[in-house]
Amino acid sequence: MAVALLPRLKPIGVDTALARSLQTGVTTSATLNVLSDYSDVLSFAPSGGYKAGAAAIAIGRELKAIAVRAGFPAATSQSAKAEFDQEAAVYLAQISELQSGEALRNDVWAFLTTVIAPELVSWRFPGESRNRFTGGNRNTFQRLWIRGTGLDRGSDHPDRWGLVKALPEDAMVQIFERSAIASSRRLTTAIAEGWIGASIKTGKGTMENIMRKAIKILRIRNEIIDLSYLDDDQLEMTIVTAFESAISVTAH
């Protein structure tokens, strides 16, 4: 099957578009106007598939529809933004065009955020810095794709996206902004399952501190032995023990 090659935006293109947005406001039309003057900051992979600019536009269209259902642009509550994050993560994780190496490229995500749907970025993170537009684990859409793919329980699971919808923002950050953990889907899902189990025992209101302590324990453990190489039972026991230790420390 031919690979869909999505448009890429160089860092200078992001800076150019954001500088112009200070004058015109952040909108898709404004960034497209800028890029028509600076076409050299846009690119595609030179070979290996077909150019899929239309796919990028379709992705942006659906993300905007998800945002509208969550209350965009009027709703600015955290609950509205959390709803967008959850639904967008599930959507992005299932797109065929993002199931290749294209989704691993920061410049692809820079194009989607800066050119295709910049108004969603400004709504989701008003006043935030350029790293919400540039590629990386803090990119507005890339972080959601990482979460969706990293917490996918599999198509045969009766509650496939339950982890995506259950974990709060702080727990997501603890898992996915630590590369040693986020690089292994098996590890991210196992820790998320551990969070679910611990929250049932203690209640969600205490989980922020517990999660932070558990992650510290697991990061230290991961430096001693690569947790992703443990078998399923060993990994589950290691994570359960980390959460139990974190609960015990927090209780005192």
Is residue 160 assigned to a domain? no
8 A C-beta contact, residue 213 and residue 246: yes
Q: Are residues 138 and 200 in the same domain?
A: no
Structure tokens at 64: 């905007």
Q: Are residues 150 and 179 in the same domain?
A: no
Choose the final residue of a domain: 133, 155, 177. 155
Q: Are residues 137 and 200 in the same domain?
A: no
Q: Are residues 133 and 180 in the same domain?
A: no
Is residue 210 assigned to a domain? yes
Is residue 23 assigned to a domain? yes
Q: Are residues 132 and 193 in the same domain?
A: no
Is residue 25 assigned to a domain? yes
Choose the final residue of a domain: 100, 122, 155. 155
Range of the domain at 207: 167-252
Is residue 162 assigned to a domain? no
The one-letter amino acid code at 169 reads E
Pairwise CA distance, residues 177 & 160, whole Å: 22
Cα–Cα separations (whole angstroms), residue 223 to 103, 184, 236, 249: 28, 14, 17, 21
Cα–Cα separations (whole angstroms), residue 61 to 26, 74, 77: 16, 18, 22
Q: Which of 98, 117, 2 is nearest to 50 (CA)?
A: 2
Look at residue 92 in the predicted model and tell me its pLDDT. Answer: 99
| Phi–psi pair at 137, nearest 5 degrees | -75, 0
Choose the final residue of a domain: 109, 127, 155. 155
Q: Are residues 48 and 109 in the same domain?
A: yes
8 A C-beta contact, residue 6 and residue 97: yes
Q: Residue 16 half-sphere exposure, CB side, CA atoms within 13 Å? A: 19
Look at residue 25 in the predicted model and tell me its pLDDT. Answer: 75
| Phi–psi pair at 138, nearest 5 degrees | -105, 0
Look at residue 212 in the predicted model and tell me its pLDDT. Answer: 97
Q: Are residues 62 and 125 in the same domain?
A: yes
Q: How many distinct structural domains can be found in the chain? A: 2
Question: For the chain (length 252 residues), average pLDDT per consecutive 10?
Answer: 89 88 75 71 86 91 98 95 98 96 95 94 89 93 98 97 97 94 95 98 94 97 93 97 95 70
- pTM here is 0.92
Look at residue 1 in the predicted model and tell me its pLDDT. Answer: 66
8 A C-beta contact, residue 59 and residue 112: yes
Helices (runs of H) and strands (runs of E) counted in the chain: 13, 4
Pairwise CA distance, residues 168 & 73, whole Å: 22
Look at residue 34 in the predicted model and tell me its pLDDT. Answer: 62
Pairwise CA distance, residues 175 & 180, whole Å: 9
